Homo-oligomer: A and B are copies of this chain.
Amino acid sequence: MKLRQLGEDRLLARLIPSLSIHKGVVAAAGDDCAVVEPPRGKNLVLLKTDCVVEKIHFATGANPVSIGWKAMMRPLSDFAAMSGVPQFALVTLIVPSRTKDEWVKRIYHGLNRAAARFDVSIVGGETSGTGGPTVISVSVSGFVERDRLVSRNGGKAGDDLFVTGLLGGSGRGKHLRFVPRIEESRWLTEKFSVHAMIDLSDGLSVDVPRLARASKVGFKIDMENLPIARGAKIDNAISDGEDYELLFAISPRDRDRLHQSWCQKFPKLALTRIGRLNQKSKIKNRKLQSGYLHFK
């Protein structure tokens, strides 16, 4: 079977059981970040690597500062998903040998700006030539307090499902300039008991089932309630991906307090209840079964 038929989630599911796992690993592949137990210390260590590939994650002529920004912000968005604090980044830049160093400098300018936005230090990197497309891989380490770690698998039947921001149409520009919801995520876990969380990288149609499956529950999405970005349609909100907003599950008992305090803390950022988790999945709209997948 070829990769484009298999899809990334299924490929990883096949590979994960065979991975070399040793002491100190709290959660490995299968969530947004890996979680490891440091030899000493009260916090857990989070590790995440992510890459952007020319013609997949950015167009060939895109602004290099924006490309660098996106390359850094993608793994940082996974820290947001787990309520983590990113600290250190390593950068691998694979570029065609004919690339001009001015272009590489502008890539680094974008990487630096994005890192500085969240006090992340770029502590190392590697540059390699290639005959193929440009690839930027960024690995980030950081931490999360034990009692504030949120994974995908803690959702409970009856939980409300919330999303931050507006969904859809990210390909028109937002995907190159988004700001990961780290501040929002850290605030949420300081004030509330968030049961499960994920960042919306592949679209609702992929990420809602992903969170529900990890939590071993079903879900119901109210299509009429989706917060749709200006110029986007409901299909975009469901399937475009690259929104990098947070999707999280929280007890309905917290609903009113969450809405009130969110509006005070983040008055410019929408927070929308889009449905809930339940015992068995009731997919009101078949569109939620399709969606963007890598290798497609």
* Residues of chain A having any CB pair with chain B under 8 Å: 1-4, 6, 8, 11-12, 14-15, 18-22, 24-25, 28-29, 33-34, 36, 38-43, 45, 47-51, 53, 55-56, 87-88, 90-92, 94-95, 97-101, 104-105, 108-109, 112, 115-116, 119-133, 135, 137, 139, 141, 143, 294-295
Option from B18, B45, B97, B119 in Cβ contact (under 8 Å) with A22: B119
Nearest chain B residue, comparing its CB with the CB of A132: B132
Cross-chain pairs A/B with CB under 8 angstroms, 22 sampled: A3-B97, A6-B101, A12-B125, A14-B101, A15-B104, A15-B105, A19-B112, A19-B123, A20-B116, A22-B87, A25-B121, A29-B123, A47-B90, A47-B124, A51-B126, A51-B137, A53-B128, A53-B129, A56-B128, A56-B130, A129-B294, A137-B137
Q: Is the CB of B3 within 8 A of A121?
A: no
**Distance (Å) between the CB of A19 and the closest chain B CB?**
5
Option from B47, B53, B97 in Cβ contact (under 8 Å) with A123: B47
Residues of chain B lying within 8 A (CB to CB) of residue A104: 3, 11, 15
Residues of chain B lying within 8 A (CB to CB) of residue A125: 12, 15, 29, 49
Q: How far is the CA of A275 from the CA of B259 in the complex (A)?
A: 71
Q: Which 4 A-B pairs have the closest CB atoms?
A: A132-B132, A34-B123, A139-B139, A34-B124
Q: Is the CB of B130 within 8 A of A97?
A: no
Nearest chain B residue, comparing its CB with the CB of A125: B29
Q: Is the CB of B20 within 8 A of A126?
A: no
Q: How far is the CA of A99 from the CA of B99 in the complex (A)?
A: 27
